[in-house]
Amino acid sequence: MTHDPLTETTFAERAREQLAKPFLRTAVPRATDHAANDLRARFADHDYEGLRARGADIRSATIADLQTHLDRLVAAFAANGVQVHMAADAAQARAHIRRICRDAGARRVVKVKSMATEEIELNPALIADGLTVTETDLGEYVVQLDNDRPSHIIAPIIHKTREEVRQSLSRVAGRELPDDASELTGFARETLRDAFMDADVGISGANFGVAESGTVVLVTNEGNGRMSTSMPRVHISLMGIERVLPRLDDLAVMLPLLTGAGTGQLITTYVTMISGPRGTNEPDGPEQMHVVLLDNGRRALLGTEYQDVLHCIRCGACQNVCPVYRQVGGHAYGWVYGGPIGAVLTPLFRGQQDGGELPQASSLCGACDDICPVKIPLHDLLLRLRRQRVDEGAAPFKERLVASVWAWAWSSAWRYRIVSGVASRLMQIGWVSRVLARRGPLAGWALGRSVPMPARRPFHRRRSDD
């Protein structure tokens, strides 16, 4: 791993850096409110809650019996001529993909936007093997040019201004491109067209894998998913094992939930269902199709209190509504997934030691629970992760000390009276409250707020006087 913000910096440091970028705080709400309004308009005459309930049922029943559905999926893939590879962790997944590329004598790879390939840090491994790797989603292409990271599950360059994109693409063009989104897109189209035509291998993720038919489903708008799986002679799909759906008609529920919650679209421009390599009488398509099934910590969540997080379909809706994400953006979370889902997945996949502080980055307002198209109880999961962090002793000493003093003082009436009485008297002294707010434990909290004064006479005493 070349650069790992999660272990090198704290959430507070990363958040402070992001908060210094005023564009971010206008761009994220603007973009995400748009999706939410479109969603409301699209479902105005429909029972969206009913659709969510169906989606939640499909996902929870599937995950509850994951192994059965995976076995069926693998068998159906094999029957379709798809070569299936199991990867227990990121290293194994990278090794499979590198070997497939090597065996194919590949030199050039085109990629479809995929969070799973981000998760296993695939690109550096392929580049180290001497392969030319080109991200073909417009946003991911810019991320790659800038050696940056995507900051949103479905809108990777939500944090970048048009001017920044113009500068990046101008470097590729070797001339100054005009400040016009349409011209910039046109330039990327022409440049990437050569990449599609020359590529030996196309690598995609998988939005869903349908067990009944052995089908990889890709949901895109730009057409790069179709190009990358049509033109190169090898197609590799990296699929998280939890993305399985039992039946084709589950897609009639899951597709509108995914696109509705993700972008507010009724359906994305392209929904591509791939069930194997090019058939004998087909005019085009890859000669080989491989699916790499990625575990990387997923199976270990089965049967635990975190199993529900495996229902996630990566729509990004919880990021869009999260009051913390909307201020600090995706990079503050320090790893691949941001927002509430990132705050749950990161400690589970990367461990409490590195990711344990992320569940604290939540006001527990529950907006993520309300929006999640498959009804994952995200804020319950955040609370469980907080508790686990304390149980494991992973919380910082100061935090544990404050919490245990608090618990001691608040768990009996007389201790509460004494402690709150003393605290209240002390706070009435001007210099004590000023020092508390500026240097004491409240200093961070008091940065944007004034510290409230306790009442001279506590409530319980006033009640007993009445």
| Minimum distance from residue 41 beta carbon to another protein (Å) | 10
Binding test (CB under 8 A) with another protein, winner from 88, 91, 197, 418: 197
Nearer to another protein, 51 or 451 (CB): 51
**Contact between residue 334 and residue 387 where contact means Cβ atoms under 8 Å apart:** no
- By the rule CB under 8 A, 139 interacts with another protein: yes
Pattern 257-276, another protein, x by CB under 8 A: ------x--xxxxxxxxxxx
**Contact between residue 155 and residue 325 where contact means Cβ atoms under 8 Å apart:** no
Nearer to another protein, 253 or 368 (CB): 253
Pattern 282-321, another protein, x by CB under 8 A: xxxx------------------------------------
Binders of another protein among 338-357, rule CB under 8 A? none
Nearer to another protein, 280 or 411 (CB): 280
Nearer to another protein, 33 or 129 (CB): 33
Q: Which of 296, 297, 279 is nearest to 288 (CA)?
A: 279
Report d(CA 310, CA 54) in Å as an integer.
16
Binders of another protein among 173-192, rule CB under 8 A? 181-182, 184-186, 188-189, 192
Q: Which of 382, 391, 387, 402 is nearest to 324 (CA)?
A: 382
Pattern 229-248, another protein, x by CB under 8 A: xxx--------------xxx
The neighbouring-strand residues paired with 87 are 294
Residue 352: other Cβ atoms inside 10 A:
21
| Minimum distance from residue 27 beta carbon to another protein (Å) | 7
Residue 201: other Cβ atoms inside 10 A:
26
**Amino acid symbol at 86:** M
| Minimum distance from residue 122 beta carbon to another protein (Å) | 21
Nearer to another protein, 156 or 240 (CB): 156
| Angle of CA points 177, 178, 179, to nearest 5° | 120
Which of the stretches 126-134, 137-145, 420-428, 440-448 binds another protein when contact is defined by CB under 8 A?
Answer: 137-145
> Read out DSSP for 169-227?
HHHHHTSPPPS-HHHHHHHHHHHHHHHHHH-SEEEE--SEEETTTTEEEEEESSSHHHH
**Contact between residue 21 and residue 246 where contact means Cβ atoms under 8 Å apart:** no
> What is the size of the binding site for another protein (CB under 8 A)?
81
Pattern 14-53, another protein, x by CB under 8 A: -------------x--xx--x-------xx-xxxx-xx--
